Every structure is written in C-alpha cells, then in structure tokens.
Structure 1
C-alpha cells in the first residue's frame, strides 16, 4: 500500500498549525508535508515531529510575496539574489527537520514576457539550487500545476517537467507528480504513473479529488484503481516514495472534519491488511 503523508497546510484547518502534527499522528499518519515552515522556529517543529514519531518528507522553498500573489521565484528575471537567499533558508530548515525534499515553485510568467523567454532563467536557477541542495544531501522537486488553480504558472505538464529534469541532469532534481493537477491538465493519469515512476525521476506523489480538491474518494478519479497501479509499478520498479494528501477536507474547518473524512484511508488499510 502507498505510504501516505498528511499535508498540514490543508488538513486539520480548525487547529493551530503546530497542533496539526498531534492530530495527524492520532489519525495514524507516519509522515507530514506542508507548504511553508518559515513562520515557525525550527526547534518547535522538530519537537512536534519527535513527540509524534513523524517524518517530515516535503515542504516548499520560499515563494516570494505569497500574500501579494507570487507563487515562486524560480522563473522570474532579476530575482536571482532573493531566490538564492530563499533556497539557502529552505536547505537550513530541511537539514534541521531531517527533510529529504524541497519543492521549488516555478512562479508565474510575467505578464509582459512569453514563457520561452523566462525558461533559461528557470533552468539556471534550478541548476544552482540542485547543486546547493546536493551539498546538504537534499533533493529538489519541481511540480506541474494546473492553470485553473494558478493561472499563469510556468510549469503545467508532466512531460515538460521531465524534459527539464533530464536537460539539467542533476541526480537530486526530481518531479513532484500531483495526480490532481495531472488529471485537470492532461488526464490519462494511470498511464503517466506507469510511464514516469520507473524512470527514477519522480520524487513524490500528491493526491486530491477532482474537481473540488476534496478527499480522494470524492470526484471523478478512481483512486482505488490508481493506488493499485502505484503499488504494482512500485513493486516492479522499486519506487518507495510518499503520497501526500494535499486536499481540502469536504467538511472544512468543522472540528474533527478531517478525521471524519479519512474513511477512504481506513477502508484501504482494511483491504490491504
């Protein structure tokens, strides 16, 4: 059965962030991910991880001015110094939290530029980030994101992400394959899992129901089937990554809503027991 990590930026929204670690552990999760740790002291997060026996498996590098609408700096011309400062900070947190992966958000293509014009900036920044992360023994990940949720986002397709990873050629640069985004942009998700997981270039998976981004048993995707595909391909290829539960609970911030919505996971565990 796939290894599932709780995304604490989306799950347990009724709780303060640091209390979400306790809630995830109570629900049986062994690992966590989230968007950003930087508003919290490293020591406080480490204490929650250790107290609950949780692994930190992923977080994002600094995205620029998030409140102002920025969604990453990697493709933005003239922001190199800020990008590098952010990656250094992310690596520092990753080492402290014993987190093996950092997701680098590509950013929005500037309105006055074409996508092809910023691609060299993106590749140069990724190349530098991969080199720096390798010194600390960390992977850096890039994620195709659908343009309905984030209009103008630079990276949208799995094939493009893999082409970029191959072009740069750094062994610690990998793809974060979010099956929710993949379904919205491309579809044919099962065949893409079969194609890309065996390459060794997929560092992490994420899931959510389509189109509302609720629990994976809500919506148009058959995740029961996709989990079987992941299991099958993992056995054949040796892929051992985590699957992040990056969805918004349908019951929202209702107390206990996240836990009540985990019937899909409990059923899966019973089936595989």
Structure 2
C-alpha cells in the first residue's frame, strides 16, 4: 500500500504564518495537517481553511500548560485536575468543529526523583475521564512516548510505558501515538515495538535520527518501517513531525519520490 502523509505544521512550513501552512501542505502533496495547539485560530476559521485546501486535520492536543516554562502536559498533576477537565471540553468542541477524531493527552514533565505513585494514579484517572467524554462523540485519546534525549523528564518516555497507561485505563478508545524518532532515540528496536503494540497504534509520527530531519537524512530505514506497518495492518496517516534541515519545500524530495 501507499501511505498518506500528514504535515505537522508546527514543524513544517515555519517560513510562513500558521494559517498559510494549511494550503502549503496541500500544494506539496500532503493529505492532512496536524498541530498540537491550533487554538490561536478559531475553530470555524480552521474548518474553512481545511475545506479550501482540501485536506483533513489529523490530531491535536489538549491544552498542555505553559510551553515557555517547559510544560508539556498537565495530566499527572492532581492540583490541575479541573484545568485538565476544562481542556477536555474545549478540545472536544474544537475537534467536532473541524472533524478531528484523535486528541493527544500529554502527561507532563517531572524529574524522576519527584515522582510519586499519585502522579500515575492521577494520569490514569484523567485519561479515563478524557476517554469517557471524547467517546461520546466518536473521538479517541492518544498517548505519545517522548524520549529523554528530546524531552528530558517527560513522564511517559517509552512506548511500553504508554501502553501500560492505556491498559490501566481499561478504556476502549485510548491508543498509542507511536513516534519513530523518539523510539529510535531511546535505542529501541523500531520493528519490535511496532509488532508488539500494533493493536494499539492509532497514529504514527516520523522523523529521521539522529538530527530529527527529513526521512533519508539519518539512519532509519523508512521503507522497512512502512513495510512493517503495512504487515501489521496499520492504515492510518504518517505524521511528518521533523525539523526541516533548510527550507521546508526544498527538503520535500523524499515525499515527491513516495508520491510518484
């Protein structure tokens, strides 16, 4: 099969304003776009941008705290439960307007020495809440592991740990956002991880390693990655969450070759 690709417009087309990136993605052969925090653009405006460009919006995140302060999620913090619940309602409303069926619930950043069992319990409880609310609208919750090399002290640092959280919730509409770059950066065997968690994978992110640039710039064999994903029955999009080595469009030769 030929996979379709989603442009992560937080990384790609950064040479232009956010609103213009939707059309740029469509012009360059992407079937969809994604961005963890689209809230600066009104949902109705985003819906119109997507319709005009003829692309879908793949997934985005619940509000994840103060990015400038290094926050990447609030799900593990008991004193922010109400903030988390408000973010769920806001995200569902936005998702319904633009037709998104996957929402990313980030856990948070916390040094190992400060972690307590209560942080895990809080995250699982919050995930159950998010899944229950989202499920009423046909929306799934996704969890992504982020490598310590790229996001130091992120609470969920391996796909195994992410799946442990998924299973702890017992919710049918929670799945894995498998990031190939983070998996490789952690030193894990990509093929083994795909096969081990194939039934849980709802979305996939790609970037080469080392460097986190375009596929083909590093050491990951993406032809093999795609072959294994096809073997296990993954039929979703591949989200391109990489940092262009230079101008985004100048580095899209790999995509043109895939689409040829």
Q: TM-score range by the shorter chain?
A: over 0.9
Counterparts of residues 242-253 of structure 1 (less than 5 Å): 242-251=237-246
1:93-112 correspondence to structure 2 within 5 Å: 93-109=94-110
Contact 1:109 1:118 in 2 (8 A): no
State whether residues 109 and 115 of structure 1, in contact with CA within 8 Å, keep that contact through their aligned partners in structure 2: no
Structure 2 SS opposite 1:67: helix
1:54-93, Cα deviation, whole Å (9 max, x unpaired): 1111011100111221110001121101111111111111
CA deviation after TM superposition for structure 1 residue 263, in Å: 1.1
Kindly indicate whether the alpha-carbon contact (under 8 Å) linking 1:3 and 1:242 is maintained by their aligned counterparts in 2: yes
Report the counterpart of residue 227 of structure 1 in structure 2.
Answer: 226
Pairwise CA distance, 1:186? 3.5
Aligned residues: CA RMSD: 1.4
Give unpaired runs (5+ residues) of structure 1.
Answer: 252-256
- Hey, what does 1:173 align to over in structure 2? 174
Equivalence for 1:22: 23
Q: Which runs of 5 or more structure 2 residues have no equivalent in the other structure?
A: none
| Shift in Å, 1:20 | 0.3
Distance in 2 between residues matched to 1:173 and 1:111, nearest whole Å: 25
The Cα shift of 1:233 comes to 2.3
Q: Is the 8 A contact 1:70 1:107 kept in 2?
A: yes
- Inter-partner Cα distance in structure 1 for 2:248 and 2:231: 28
Deviation at residue 4 of structure 1 after TM alignment? 0.9
Q: Secondary structure, in 3 states, of the residue corresponding to 1:165?
A: helix
| Cα distance in structure 1, aligned partners of 2:259 and 2:224 | 14
- 2:259 matched residue in structure 1: 269
| 1:129 matched residue in structure 2 | 130
Alignment match, 2:75: 74
TM-score (norm 1): 0.91
Aligned mates of 1:112, 1:215 — CA distance in 2? 35
Matched-pair contact (CA < 8 Å) for 1:183–1:210: yes
1:107 Cα deviation after fit: 0.4
Which shifted more, 79-88 or 111-120? 111-120
SS of 2:75's equivalent in the other structure is coil
- Give the aligned partner of residue 249 of structure 2: 259
Map 1:23-172 onto structure 2 (within 5 A): 23-109=24-110, 113-172=114-173
- Once residues 223 and 9 of structure 1 are traced to their aligned partners in structure 2, the CA distance between those partners, rounded to angstroms, is 22
What is the deviation of 1:163?
A: 1.8
Deviation (angstroms), 1:112: 6.5
The answer for the alignment partner of 1:204 in structure 2 is 203
- Matched positions, count: 259
Q: Which runs of 4+ in 1 moved over 6 A?
A: none
State the 1:268 CA deviation: 2.1
Q: What TM-score do you get using the length of structure 2 for normalisation?
A: 0.95
Q: Secondary structure at the match of 1:211?
A: coil
Q: Is the 8 A contact 1:76 1:110 kept in 2?
A: no
